[in-house]
């Protein structure tokens, strides 16, 4: 087997793993279903109660976790390539929190638009995330190039400050809204429905093809600014475009699932270890691993802690924090 065949085999294996987790996720929750009931419910057959549980409650939630995991995995992969920093992640850099603050502004100050929240929340999230990303870019732009160290440190500071702003804004909410926002800030798929699936499909359906079309430019960009310039690539112009795509992917997901961190850090790292740095495979691997992690975390939160439920963001943080510390130690030792 040549190297590309091995990479395709790994991608197929990850797709199969994602499908298995998808089926297991349908059975995670208070009501347990047999495998036969699951397939009947997916096909629209079986008892009405089973169809209701699968088609109206669990299936849209699982699809949202799948789409958010893929979007955040792609976003993190682009960020790491654009900044040249393996610790770059939309959550760590404050991009997620920028999106979240904008969504909080929407929830608090624009109640008249709440009926169309699935349409407007991603737009607000994108604006908030883009503002943070542009400020970080300007802060880290030194001597004609992007300084990845400044970008990371500025992002960590921005994330902390924006999180404090979110907490202050949340105190002004009514009790019912405060509970919902508190859960959303951690990162959760609770309460998602088919309209959220449709919203994600629209936004990701626009941005993912543009992202996949940039694979060759990403391959050139990771060679370094000097080499990329010598090969005829407009480095800063292309970097800004890729940053725009990364922010858009993250914002669309954060508007639905809340402050879900570490997916954009862990998924590209695992994919890069197996698939190498060629973005033709790396982007797909990051998306598949991201969706698998998200579905797994949501299933654990729903299935193990019954009758209560832990948000997926808590599970992801528990699983990913040790890996982040390992990467941090490896990067700066």
Give the residue numbers spanning the domain of 268: 3-332
pLDDT tens digits for 159-181? 999 999 988 888 777 776 777 77
Structure tokens at 78: 């682009």
pLDDT tens digits for 103-128? 888 887 887 777 777 778 888 889 99
- Distance, CA of 243 to chain centre: 15
Sign of CA dihedral 300, 306, 310, 311: positive
Is residue 1 pLDDT above 80, yes or no?
A: no
Q: Using 50, 70 and 90 to split pLDDT, how confident is the model at 60?
A: very high
Which of 39-53, 58-72, 128-142, 184-198 bottoms out in mean pLDDT, i.e. has the lowest?
A: 39-53
Structure tokens at 329: 């130690």
What is the distance between the alpha carbons of residues 300 and 25, in angstroms, rounded to a whole number?
Answer: 9
Q: How many structural domains comprise the chain?
A: 1
Structure tokens at 191: 């309460």
Is residue 210 pLDDT above 90, yes or no?
A: yes
Which secondary structure element, helix H or strand E, spans residue 145, and what is its range?
Answer: strand 145-146
What is the distance between the alpha carbons of residues 321 and 263, in angstroms, rounded to a whole number?
Answer: 11
Residues constituting the chain: 333
With a pLDDT cut of 70, the percent of the chain lying above it is: 98
Q: Greater confidence, 119 or 61?
A: 61
Provide the H-helix boundaries in 189-311: 194-212, 215-221, 225-230, 235-257, 263-275, 279-303
* Residue 247 exposed, middle or buried by CB count within 10 Å (0-12, 13-18, 19+): buried
Q: Which residue from 105, 69, 104, 72 is spatially nearest to 90, judged by alpha carbons?
A: 72
Residue 331: per-residue pLDDT: 64
Angle between helices 117-140 and 235-257 (to 10 degrees): 140
Which secondary structure element, helix H or strand E, spans residue 277, and what is its range?
Answer: none
Structure-token match 């998200």, residue found: 294
Non-local (6+) Cβ contacts of 163 within 8 A are: 97
Q: Using 50, 70 and 90 to split pLDDT, how confident is the model at 233?
A: confident
Is residue 305 pLDDT above 80, yes or no?
A: no
What is the distance between the alpha carbons of residues 117 and 112, in angstroms, rounded to a whole number?
Answer: 10
With a pLDDT cut of 90, the percent of the chain lying above it is: 47
What is the distance between the alpha carbons of residues 38 and 189, in angstroms, rounded to a whole number?
Answer: 20
Q: Which residue from 110, 84, 109 is spatially nearest to 243, judged by alpha carbons?
A: 84
Other residues' Cβ atoms within 10 Å of the Cβ of residue 161 = 13
Structure tokens at 129: 């995330």
As a whole number, the mean pLDDT across the chain is: 88
Is residue 232 pLDDT above 80, yes or no?
A: yes
Angle between helices 235-257 and 95-109 (to 10 degrees): 50
Interval 224-244 mean pLDDT: 89
Contact 94, 155 (CB under 8 A): yes
Q: Using 50, 70 and 90 to split pLDDT, how confident is the model at 281?
A: very high
Q: What is the CA radius of gyration of the chain?
A: 20
Residue 145: per-residue pLDDT: 81
Interval 83-88 mean pLDDT: 85
Is residue 255 pLDDT above 80, yes or no?
A: yes
Is residue 224 pLDDT above 90, yes or no?
A: no
Residue 202: per-residue pLDDT: 93
CA angle 96, 71, 29 (to 5 degrees): 90
Interval 38-55 mean pLDDT: 85
Residue 303: per-residue pLDDT: 82
What is the distance between the alpha carbons of residues 256 and 265, in angstroms, rounded to a whole number?
Answer: 19
Other residues' Cβ atoms within 10 Å of the Cβ of residue 207 = 20
Is residue 79 pLDDT above 90, yes or no?
A: yes
Q: Using 50, 70 and 90 to split pLDDT, how confident is the model at 84?
A: confident
User: Which CATH number fits the domain that encloses residue 228?
Assistant: 1.10.3470.10
């Amino acid at each position: 087997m040549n190297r590309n065949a091995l990479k395709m085999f790994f991608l197929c294996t990850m797709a199969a793993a994602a499908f298995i987790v998808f089926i297991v996720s349908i059975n995670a929750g208070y009501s347990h279903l047999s495998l036969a009931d699951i397939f009947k419910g997916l096909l629209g057959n079986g008892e009405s109660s089973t169809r209701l549980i699968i088609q109206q409650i669990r299936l849209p939630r699982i699809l949202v976790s799948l789409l958010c995991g893929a979007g955040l995995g792609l976003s993190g992969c682009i960020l790491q390539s654009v900044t040249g920093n393996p610790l770059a992640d939309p959550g760590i850099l404050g991009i997620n929190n920028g999106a979240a603050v904008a969504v909080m502004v929407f929830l608090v100050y624009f109640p008249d638009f709440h009926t169309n929240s699935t349409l407007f929340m991603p737009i607000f999230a994108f604006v908030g995330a883009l503002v943070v990303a542009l400020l970080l870019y300007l802060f880290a732009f030194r001597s004609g190039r992007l300084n990845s160290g400044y970008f990371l440190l500025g992002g960590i500071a921005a994330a902390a400050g924006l999180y404090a702003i979110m907490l202050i804004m949340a105190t002004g909410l009514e009790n019912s809204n405060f509970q919902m926002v508190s859960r959303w800030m951690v990162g959760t798929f609770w309460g998602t429905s088919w309209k959220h699936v449709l919203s994600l499909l629209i936004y990701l359906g626009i941005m993912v093809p543009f992202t996949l079309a940039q694979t060759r430019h990403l391959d050139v960009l990771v060679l370094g600014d000097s080499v990329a310039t010598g090969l005829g690539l407009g480095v800063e112009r292309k970097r800004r475009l890729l940053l725009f795509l990364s922010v858009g992917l993250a914002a669309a997901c954060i508007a639905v699932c809340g402050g879900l961190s570490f997916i954009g850090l862990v998924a590209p790292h695992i994919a890069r270890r197996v698939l190498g740095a060629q973005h033709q495979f790396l982007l797909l691997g990051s998306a598949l691993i991201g969706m698998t992690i998200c579905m797994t975390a949501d299933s654990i939160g729903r299935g193990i802690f019954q009758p209560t439920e832990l948000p997926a963001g808590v599970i992801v943080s528990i699983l990913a924090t040790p890996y982040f510390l390992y990467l941090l130690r490896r990067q700066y030792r």
